[in-house]
Amino acid sequence: MAGRRNIYYWKSDRAFTSENTRTTAGSPLAEIVIQVSDYLNRFFQRGLVNVEPAHGQGNHITFVAHYADSDYFVRLEDGPEGDNYMTVESGVMKMVRDLDIPCPVIYHTDVSRTSVPFAIQVMELIGGRDLSHYSGSDRLDVMRTAFEIGGYIARWQAITPANFGLFNVETFMSNGSLEGFHDKYSDYFGLNLESHLDYLVRASFLTQTKQRQILELVAAHDSLLHIGKGCLVHKDLAFWNILGDGTHIRAFIDWNDSISGDPVDDLSLLACFQSGEVVTSAINGYAQVRPLPDHFEERLWLHLLRNMIFKAVIRVRGNYFDMPGNFFMNNGHTNDLKQITLSRINSACEGLHTKKSILSL
């Protein structure tokens, strides 16, 4: 099994991209509940009261397992690719927790698919809602929270895996170490870039002129990709992957896309969704813990561009622009996700071309 060697990002590059929008994994939900319950009774711990769907909106099918004395969060992966990255994710989350960064405890992970037709992960159930739930209300001090997020990003960068890109599961399972598939960061950064752009042109989301501009900008800034050592990158850092109560961050969740990469990448991922002022607050929090890398703003614009391209592929393929207002990325609005996506791509291009401030976002 090649694992994720040829993957830049799972939801944009997986073999069965239609699986990204599944909700019941091709089996009736009631049947999956029975399978999960039977599995937990055999392999986790006794005393299960019941299992109920958690209705998560990510790649995984999610449940809450209720026991007499505690509850647990359960995630399943049963796509046809047989992806086993959940093993790496569990290891990454332990490493993050060992740095005293809030992250759920993983109690059990099984990717063998020998007893059930899916990989399964049982973790601590964290109270609170994701931060996107509080966005736009006075219940969340966004600037203070962003500052705190930036500090945590800097702290988890103390984890420095070998090589770059997504991690080799076989290496991790054999010796517990994180090792990316790519010797050079530029190889990972450019992985599937042209195919992503070709797809967006074919889908009439980008013009051929914009495609050429993007490729020229990336080529002109190739020297920024020559980094000697990677660091841990969450790679899906957004408010819906951070749990809290509006005042305190309780957990960073969903490390299933984590990589070894550039230290500006997670900050650039925040820039995919947040204003320049919020991103700047996160940068300031980061700088309190770790010095900003050389050519910081150029690198952030470059990574914002790459991240918005793969996100655009996911959004076009998944018909995200046609989703109703209650879709988790719409924040109650139905008409601006497409425009926001195009605007961020254009802003990243302009930022690289004119070297403007991140505050302009």
- Is 342 found in the same domain as 233? yes
Which pLDDT value is given to residue 328?
A: 59
Strand pairing partners for 316?
A: none
2 located within any domain:
no
Same domain for 294 and 186, yes or no, is yes
Per-residue pLDDT tens over the stretch 103-123 = 999 999 999 999 999 999 999
Residues 120, 190, single domain; the answer is no
- Residue 131 phi, psi dihedral angles, 5° rounding: -65, -25
Residue 169: in which H helix or E strand, if any?
A: helix 169-175
pTM: 0.95
Q: 188 lies in a domain?
A: yes
* Tens of pLDDT, residue by residue, the chain (361 residues): 568 999 999 999 999 887 776 555 456 889 999 999 999 999 999 999 999 999 877 778 999 999 999 999 999 999 999 999 999 999 999 999 999 999 999 999 999 999 999 999 999 999 889 999 887 677 899 999 999 999 999 999 999 999 999 999 999 999 999 999 999 999 999 999 999 999 999 999 999 999 999 999 999 999 999 999 999 999 999 999 999 988 889 999 999 999 999 999 999 999 999 999 999 999 999 999 999 999 999 999 999 999 999 999 999 999 999 876 666 565 544 458 999 999 999 999 999 999 899 999 9
Q: What is the CATH number of the domain that holds 62?
A: 3.30.200.20
Phi, psi of 139 (to 5 degrees): -80, -10
Does residue 105 sit in the same domain as residue 175? no
The beta-carbon contacts of 197-200 under 8 Å, at least 24 apart in sequence, are 197/309, 199/313, 199/316, 199/317, 200/309, 200/312, 200/313, 200/316
CA-to-CA dists, residue 9 to 85, 138, 190, 200, 232, angstroms: 12, 34, 12, 16, 15
Domain boundary residue, one of 124, 146, 167: 124
Same domain, yes or no, for 326 and 353? yes
Of 104, 124, 144, the one marking the end of a domain is 124
Is 4 part of a structural domain of the chain?
Answer: no
Domain identity same for 173 and 75: no
Strand pairing report for 180-182 and 164-167: antiparallel
Q: Say how far apart CA 32 and CA 27 lie, in whole Å.
A: 7
Distances (CA, A) of 78 to 35, 171, 189: 13, 22, 28
Q: Is residue 178 part of a domain?
A: yes
* Three-state secondary-structure class, residue 34: helix
232 and 312 both lie in a single domain? yes
CA distance 268 to 310: 13
d(CA 108, CA 126): 16
CATH number of the domain to which 349 belongs: 3.90.1200.10
Residues 350 and 241 in one domain: yes
Residue type, 227: I
Structure confidence at residue 333 (pLDDT): 47
Q: How far apart are CA 236 and CA 9, in angstroms?
A: 10
Same domain, 20 and 97: yes
CA distances from 39 to 62, 113, 115 (A): 15, 11, 8
Residues 222 and 337 both lie in one domain: yes
Answer yes or no: do 141 and 116 share one domain.
Answer: no
| Cα distances (Å, whole numbers) of residue 27 to 23, 35, 41 | 9, 11, 21
DSSP structure string for 264-316: THHHHHHHTTS-HHHHHHHHHHHHTTSPPPTTHHHHHHHHHHHHHHHHHHHHH
pLDDT tens for each residue of 257-298? 999 999 999 999 999 999 999 999 999 999 999 999 999 999
Domain boundary among 91, 124, 157: 124
- Asked whether residue 350 is assigned to any structural domain, the reply reads yes
Residue 1 forms part of a structural domain: no
On whether both 227 and 348 belong to a single domain, the answer is yes
Structural domain containing residue 15: 10-124
234 located within any domain: yes
| Structural domains of the chain, count | 2
- Coil/strand/helix, residue 31: helix
Longest alpha-carbon distance in the chain: 62
Separation between Cα atoms, residue 218 and residue 197, nearest integer Å: 12
Q: Is residue 239 part of a domain?
A: yes
